[in-house]
Amino acid sequence: MSLPARNPKHNPLFILKTCKALNGRPAYIAGPMVRYLKLPFRELVRHYNTDIVYTPMILAREFVRNETARISDFTTNERDRSVIVQVGCNNVEDLLKFVEMIHPYVDGIGLNCGCPIREQVREGIGAALMSEPELVASMVKAVKDKYGDRVCLETKIRIHSNLDETVRFVKMVEAAGVDFITVHGRTKTTRLSVPANFDAIKLVKESVVPTVPDPKKHNLTIAPTVATHLVLLATAPIKISMSLPARNPKHNPLFILKTCKALNGRPAYIAGPMVRYLKLPFRELVRHYNTDIVYTPMILAREFVRNETARISDFTTNERDRSVIVQVGCNNVEDLLKFVEMIHPYVDGIGLNCGCPIREQVREGIGAALMSEPELVASMVKAVKDKYGDRVCLETKIRIHSNLDETVRFVKMVEAAGVDFITVHGRTKTTRLSVPANFDAIKLVKESVGVPVVANGDCFLFDDATKIADFTGVDGVMAVRGILSNPALFAGFDKTPWAAVERFWHLATSYGLPFRITQHHLSEMMDKLIPRKYLKEMNELTNLVDLIDWFDFHFMLKREGQPGFATLVDVTWREHRGDAAHI
């Protein structure tokens, strides 16, 4: 989990100085682009003589508060040198927290004062900072006062229409201690079709510390082309469509909950939301094994509605992703309505998370924090249902209170506000998972409201779903930890069949799934299939290629199209496994 110590020769300031002094040339730099400078592309451009490479911009506020953002926004390895992480931030507190978290893993940190994207400017970051030189100087000074030469700090700016303002700006950040400055030779409103103003960049160079011209015109031409090729090389060909078929009423979660019970005499089988681990490939896998409704991981409405990068990284779907409920973390009507407007055409339902007990979410006033705000939750539910009516199936997922009268009051309020169904996790927000779920409390909720109710908690076997439904009378049963370790749970398997492992590999590599998420899914699925020795080996691997090689070395892992693909129940070991293969 650790990387080698940073080499001073990878410090961007050292590179800038030595390229000019020793090589008689400028440093060659790949600048930050929204989405298109992830780790594979950074490694590619280094192969072709690039000295320094930036990451895409990371929003400090989300990064320091949200583990999901940290995992999705930044990955690195020992070859990722020299790398500068670009940060969007507008206050000292968040910037210092961000630097504290990330500086051991990068060679430099770049404060973005130049991004002209409207939603960033509205948030007071990017090019909005060009009118706040005192604020930028205070952020630079805070970082340099705390870290000194241990952190190489850059600011990336645009020019002002009045170049005297630009000179004043850069002199202030120079005085605050910035190590170098990148200048984009356009104002925040100048179109890319207008040539960059290199006279302005020359003026900055003559005014302050060593600067780097920003070759953004070329970056924007090259990067999308190469990034697209990388995606096609890394995944199986997939026909991409910007539109999806119209939603089918039979995929509406409310229809499924009612018909499963009325027509099939069983509860609806539901795969509940998990942080990071219910991305598109795994959703498709569990549907193959008799799951009726599948949730996405929780998406933060505030970031989703304001940030295109968040929308791209947080949510993907396709025409087979039915029935799907997107779970949202939100604590105000405005953001929720914007979120619903953006996403409702692509999903079958929307679930408002009132149950997540993760500390950082509760501090932000979302998740389980909402259990003490029934009026607020009811107002959010009412706002959505008033605007969309039956066009949006809306659920709330809650935990119970220590005083169950409060829980009954809560669910009655959201029912009156128009919620379509309620999911109840039978624990309080402070109850440990080692304590059995309180099914009496879930039964009480079911008896207190007229809308369908889903039970969540302690469903690890197919028989558990039947027992929970019989005891509580609920309309659906949700598995979370149980289905993570056994995606075939609702098909009656007591442990993951080998066919599910092969099918998961096909889906993960076809759609593209981050390595650590792929590794974690396989670790969970293989937990009851192979000895601890092998699990430890697998979990110590550090990249997808080695993981595939490891599986091929130990097992007969069939690919789609090969005879017998995804048909076997038991693990298919290769003959060289030895006695250690027996559990």
- Catalytic residues, which ones? 356
222 burial class (0-12, 13-18, 19+ CB within 10 angstroms)? middle
Residue 8's SS3 state is helix
Q: List the structure tokens of 109.
A: 């940190």
Say if CB 227 and CB 36 are below 8 A apart: yes
Q: Which of 366, 465, 448, 360 is nearest to 412 (CA)?
A: 448
76 burial class (0-12, 13-18, 19+ CB within 10 angstroms)? middle
Residue 289's SS3 state is coil
The one-character DSSP state at 190 is -
325 burial class (0-12, 13-18, 19+ CB within 10 angstroms)? buried
* Cis ω for the linkage preceding 448 (within 30 of 0): no
Q: Return the residue matching tokens 């929308």.
A: 311
Angle at 374 between CA 368 and CA 377, to 5 degrees: 80
Q: Which of 350, 337, 252 is nearest to 299 (CA)?
A: 350
Residue 184's SS3 state is strand
Question: For residue 294, what are the β-bridge partners?
Answer: 271, 324
Pairing mode, if any, of strands 293-295 and 324-329? Answer: parallel
Pairing mode, if any, of strands 108-113 and 83-88? Answer: parallel
Q: Among positive and negative, which fits the CA dihedral 132, 137, 140, 141?
A: negative
104 burial class (0-12, 13-18, 19+ CB within 10 angstroms)? exposed
Q: Which of 288, 272, 274 is nearest to 320 (CA)?
A: 288
Q: Count CB atoms within 10 A of the CB of residue 507.
A: 20
Q: 195 — phi, psi (to 5°)?
A: -55, 145
Instruction: Give the contacts of 195 (CB within 8 A, at least 6 positions apart).
Output: none
Based on C-alpha coordinates, what's the Rg of the chain?
Answer: 26
Q: Which amino acid is at 555?
A: F
Residue 81's SS3 state is coil
Instruction: Give the contacts of 172 (CB within 8 A, at least 6 positions apart).
Output: 133, 134, 136, 137
Dump the DSSP string for 90-140.
Answer: -SHHHHHHHHHHHGGG-SEEEEEE----HHHHHTT-GGGGGG-HHHHHHHH
Q: 437 — phi, psi (to 5°)?
A: -65, 150
Question: For residue 52, what are the β-bridge partners?
Answer: 29
The one-character DSSP state at 564 is T
